[in-house]
Structure 1
Amino acid sequence: MRPDADADAAASLLLGACLHHAVLSSFAERPTPTAQLADRARALAEVLAAGLRPTD
């Protein structure tokens, strides 16, 4: 993890994205299949991790 990374902010971004998806799915009254949820969670975590990795 980069020394200047804000772990609390990173956690908030990840939780916010998950909450956003859950709320929209609930409003649409269409639950997301479990396999799709796992893929989405993995993709979000990978994007977030890429931004937290040291650059050198």
Structure 2
Amino acid sequence: MTFLQQSLLTLIGIVALVFLWLLLRVDYRSDTARKTGNAIQAEFELSDHTGMVRTQDDFAGR
């Protein structure tokens, strides 16, 4: 193999490892957030198809 081919193969390997590390890190962070209950909660308002404003209270218990 030439130096260019070896360099390209090494670069592809490094990029693959970084991509795999990022996937595992995101999965770990989402699992950690789920276990600790740090979910994002925000007040919201939506308009339905008739134009009425709906809030979080309209969907409580559903």
TM-score by length of 1: 0.44
Q: Which of structures 1 and 2 has the larger relative contact order (alpha carbons within 8 angstroms, sep 6+)?
A: 1
Higher helix fraction: Structure 1 or Structure 2? 1
TM-score by length of 2: 0.41
Larger CA Rg, structure 1 vs 2: 2
